[in-house]
Amino acid sequence: MEKILEVKDLAVSFKTFFGEVEAVRGISFEVGKKETVAIVGESGCGKSVTANSIMQLLPMPPAFFKNGEILFNGENLLSKSEKEMQNIRGNHIAMIFQDPMTSLNPTMKVGKQIVEGLIKHHGLKHHDAKKKAIEMLDLVAVPQPEKRIEQYPHEFSGGMRQRVMIALAMISDPQLLIADEPTTALDVTVQAQILDLMKSLQERLDMSIILITHDLGVVADTSDKVVVMYAGQIVEQGLTDEIFKETAHPYTQKLLASVPRLDMNRDEALLSIEGTPPDLYIPPKGCAFYDRCDKAMKICKDNMPGFTEHSATHASRCWLNHPMAKTNEGSGI
Amino acid sequence: MSKYLLKRLFMSLVTIWAVITITFALMHSVPGDPFRSESKMPPAVYENLLSQYGLDKPVPQQYVIYLGNLLQGDLGASMKSRVETVNDMVERGFPVSAQLGAQALLIAIVFGPALGSLAALYQNKFPDYLSMVIAIIGISVPSFIMGTVLIQFVARNVAYFPIGGWGTWQHTLLPSFALALMPLATMARLMRSSMLEVLNQDYIKTAKSKGIRKSAVILKHAVRNAILPVISILGTTISNLLVGSFVIEKIFGIPGLGRFFVQSISNRDYTLIMGTTIFYAIILVAMLFIVDIAYMLIDPRIKLAKEGR
Amino acid sequence: MKADLDFRPEMFEVADKTDLNVDKIRRPSIKFWPDVWRRLKMNKLAMLGLTLIIAMIVMAFIGVKLSGYTYFEQNLKLRNTHPNMEFWFGTDELGRDMFTRVWYGARYSLAIGVIAAFIDFVIGITYGGIAGISSRRVDAIMMRVAEVIYSIPYLLIVILLSVVLTQEGGGSSMFVLILAMSLTGWVPMAILVRGQVLQLKESEYSLASESLGATKSWILKKHIFPNTLGPILVNVTLTIPRAIFAEATLGFLGLGLQAPMSSLGTLANDGLAGLAVGNAYQIIIPAIFISLIMFSFNVLGDGLRDALDPRLRK
Ligand SMILES: Nc1ncnc2c1ncn2[C@@H]1O[C@H](COP(=O)(O)OP(=O)(O)O)[C@@H](O)[C@H]1O
Ligand SMILES: [Mg+2]
pLDDT tens digits for A60-91?
A: 878 888 888 999 988 888 888 888 888 888 88
Task: Work out the percent of chain B whose per-residue pLDDT is above 90.
Answer: 12
Nearest CA in chain A to B220: A108
Q: Which residues surround ligand 2, an ion (CB under 5 A)?
A: A 48
Tens-digit pLDDT profile for residues C5-14: 677 777 777 7
The residue with greater pLDDT, A52 or C198, is A52
Q: Is the CB of A46 under 6 A from ligand 1?
A: yes
Nearest CA in chain B to A85: B211
A232 burial class (0-12, 13-18, 19+ CB within 10 angstroms)? buried
Question: Is C6 in CB contact (< 8 Å) with chain A?
Answer: no
Mean pLDDT over residues A317-326, rounded? 79
Mean pLDDT over residues B272-292, rounded? 85
Mean pLDDT over residues B27-51, rounded? 68
Lowest mean pLDDT, pick from B118-132, B215-229, C217-231: C217-231
- Other beta carbons within 10 Å of C50: 19
Mean pLDDT over residues C203-221, rounded? 52
C32-67+89-312 placed in CATH 1.10.3720.10: yes
Q: Provide the CB-side half-sphere exposure for A254 (13 A, CA).
A: 24
Q: Predicted confidence band at A270 (pLDDT cuts at 50, 70, 90)? A: very low
Tens-digit pLDDT profile for residues B115-126: 999 998 888 889
Do residues C269 and C286 touch, judged by C-beta distance below 8 A? no
Give the mean pLDDT of chain A: 83
User: Looking at the predicted structure, is the pLDDT value of residue B242 above 80?
Assistant: yes
Task: Work out the percent of chain C whose per-residue pLDDT is above 90.
Answer: 8
Classify strands A3-16 and A63-72 as parallel, antiparallel or unpaired: antiparallel
- Other beta carbons within 10 Å of C267: 31
Instruction: For chain A, positions 274-293, list CB contacts with chain C under 8 A.
Output: 279, 281-282, 290-291
**Residues of chain C contacting A322 with CB distance shorter than 8 Å:** 1, 7, 12
User: Looking at the predicted structure, is the pLDDT value of residue C220 above 60?
Assistant: no
**Residues of chain A contacting B212 with CB distance shorter than 8 Å:** 86, 90, 116-117, 120
Do residues A225 and A37 touch, judged by C-beta distance below 8 A? yes
**Residues of chain B contacting A82 with CB distance shorter than 8 Å:** 214
B-interface mutation test, from A49, A54, A116, most B Cβ less than 10 A away: A116
Lowest mean pLDDT, pick from A326-330, C50-54, C281-285: A326-330
Q: Is the CB of A45 under 6 A from ligand 1?
A: yes
State the greatest distance between any 2 C-alpha atoms of chain A, in Å, as a whole number.
71
Instruction: For chain C, positions 99-158, list CB contacts with chain B under 8 A.
Output: 144, 147-149, 151-157
A-interface mutation test, from B208, B210, B297, most A Cβ less than 10 A away: B210
Mean pLDDT over residues B170-175, rounded? 85
Return the closest-CA partner of residue A305 out of A261, A267, A251: A251
CA dist., res. C63 & res. A1, Å (int):
84
Give the mean pLDDT of chain C: 77
User: Looking at the predicted structure, is the pLDDT value of residue A329 above 90?
Assistant: no
Is A301 in contact with C15 (Cβ distance < 8 A)?
yes
Q: Predicted confidence band at B1 (pLDDT cuts at 50, 70, 90)? A: low
Q: Is the CB of A14 under 6 A from ligand 1?
A: yes
Mean pLDDT over residues B185-204, rounded? 89
Tens-digit pLDDT profile for residues C84-126: 777 777 777 777 788 888 888 888 889 988 998 999 989 988 8
Mean pLDDT over residues B66-89, rounded? 80
The residue with greater pLDDT, C172 or C115, is C115
**Residues of chain A contacting C24 with CB distance shorter than 8 Å:** 291
Tens-digit pLDDT profile for residues C37-86: 888 888 888 999 999 999 999 988 887 777 777 777 777 777 777 777 77
Give the mean pLDDT of chain B: 83
DSSP state string for A52-111: HHHHT-S-TTTEEEEEEEEEETTEEGGGS-HHHHHHHBTTTEEEE-S-TTTSS-TTS-HH
Which residues lie closer than 8 Å to C195 by C-beta, 6 or more apart?
C128, C132
Domain boundaries, chain C: 32-67+89-312
User: Looking at the predicted structure, is the pLDDT value of residue B135 above 60?
Assistant: yes
Q: Predicted confidence band at B183 (pLDDT cuts at 50, 70, 90)? A: very high
* pLDDT for res C293: 92
**What are chain A's partners, defined as 3 or more CB pairs within 8 angstroms?**
B, C
* pLDDT for res A160: 85
